[in-house]
Chain A
Amino acid sequence: MLVLLAVAAAMGLLLFAFATLFGKDPHQVPFGLKDKPAPDFTLTRLDTGETVKLSALRGRPLVLNFWASWCGPCQAEHPTLARAAKHFGGEASFFGVVFEDTPEEARKFARPMEPSFPQLIDPQSRMAVDYGVTGVPETYFIDAQGIIRDKFVGPLLDMQELASRLHALQQATGPVGASR
């Protein structure tokens, strides 16, 4: 009787574990910075060497795209982002951040593409770690108050998808003054 009870208890625990843990993708890395203030950064532009600070970009929605020249999907998505920057440039700022790459390689990658939106160099990927980047490409959507509202993991190939995320960004209103 005691054995049966013990086996039933162990089975119950196992079932509970399976019920709570199944259905989740173990490879999906949680994103803890959603609806949190975007960490400040000061980076330099790949083309002009000019300094760009996040605090100076506040007041407009911001799209930050992390990419690298060695990343195939980044090459595939770049034309979509370039078109989006041209089309929605009046409503939001677009910036690319070079991830784990050398400025030379990044320039070689960016050169054939038409100059669409500024690219920033992130030495030693410090800023990428600050933003919780898990790989490239990843695109962050930050509202006018500096709150990270969303991030898209993988290549953004659908213009409609990008447009709807931008629209949601414009609708979002974050707590003013919450960003650092």
Chain B
Amino acid sequence: MSVLVLALLLSATPHAPQQAGSALLDPTREARVQALGKMLRCPMCQGLSIADSGSSAARAQMDRVRELVAEGKTDDEIRAYFVARYGEWALLEPPAHGVNWLVFLLPVALVLVGALVIGRLVRHSSVAQAAGAQPAPSPASADPYLDAVRAELKK
């Protein structure tokens, strides 16, 4: 029943009519089109590339990429075409310059800091063990409940 209601609702909701994409190019150039499409962000989707999105707007952008490849434009020129319209937001991988460097440097910096902290902790504990600083557990524990359990077990 719920499936029927959902189907009726979906059929009643206006939607963008699916249009066929432009004709594929030869395998080598089509591979370039797909690779470029994977790098470009779909403006109507959430974090999807135009090659991975099923939206009609993404299809329109893929058609444009195909057209630009067919015109003999280089990958840089095609990326520049989309950056000119949507800014660097259009690139799924931000180019390494300016504040974008943070994206590449922060993870490395955090891993290094983590490694440093772990290294210090390990060294500290091994030094303490070697010096015998760790006192042997006394048979009479400071915990009265533990003593009570031991006494019960001895009975």
Name A's B-contacting residues (CB within 8 A): 2-3, 6-7, 9-10, 13-14, 16-17, 20-21, 29-33, 36, 68-72, 100-102, 105, 124-126, 128-135
Which of A2, A17, A131 has the largest count of B CB atoms less than 10 A from its CB?
A: A17
Query: Which chain B residues have a beta carbon within 8 Å of chain A's beta carbons?
Result: 14-17, 19, 22, 43-44, 56-57, 60-61, 63-64, 67, 83-89, 99, 102, 105-106, 109-110, 112-113, 116-117, 120
Question: Within the complex, what minimum Cβ distance (angstroms) separates A43 from chain B?
Answer: 15
Q: How distant is the Cα of A59 from the Cα of B86 in the complex, in angstroms?
A: 27
B87 & A129 in contact (Cβ 8 Å cutoff): no
> Min CB distance, B84 to chain A, in Å?
5
**Structural contact, A134 and B43, CB atoms closer than 8 A:** yes
Q: How far is the CB of A29 from chain B (nearest CB, A)?
A: 5
Q: Is the CB of A102 within 8 A of B17?
A: yes
> Smallest distance from the beta carbon of A166 to chain B beta carbons, Å?
24
Evaluate whether A14 and B106 lie within 8 angstroms (CB atoms) in the complex, with A100-B19, A126-B64 already known: yes
Q: How many A-B contacts at CB < 8 Å in the complex?
A: 96
Could you tell me the distance between the alpha carbons of A62 and B45 in the complex, rounded to whole angstroms?
Answer: 29
B60 with A68: CB separation less than 8 A: no
In the docked arrangement, what's the CA distance between A33 and B81, Å? 11
A101 to B19, CA, bound (A): 8
Given the interface contacts A13-B106, A14-B106, does A100 sit within 8 Å of B89 by beta carbon? no
Name the residue among A124, A126, A131 with the largest chain B CB count within 10 angstroms. A124
Q: Which residues of B are found within 8 Å of A31, using beta-carbon distances?
A: 85-87
With a cutoff of 8 Å between Cβ atoms, the chain A residues found around residue B89 in the complex are 29-30
**Interface pair B105/A100, CB less than 8 Å apart:** no
A13 with B85, Cβ < 8 A, contacts A2-B116, A20-B99 known:
no
B87 near A7 with CB under 8 A, answer: no
Q: A100-B16, A100-B19 are in contact. Are A128 and B86 (CB under 8 A)?
A: no
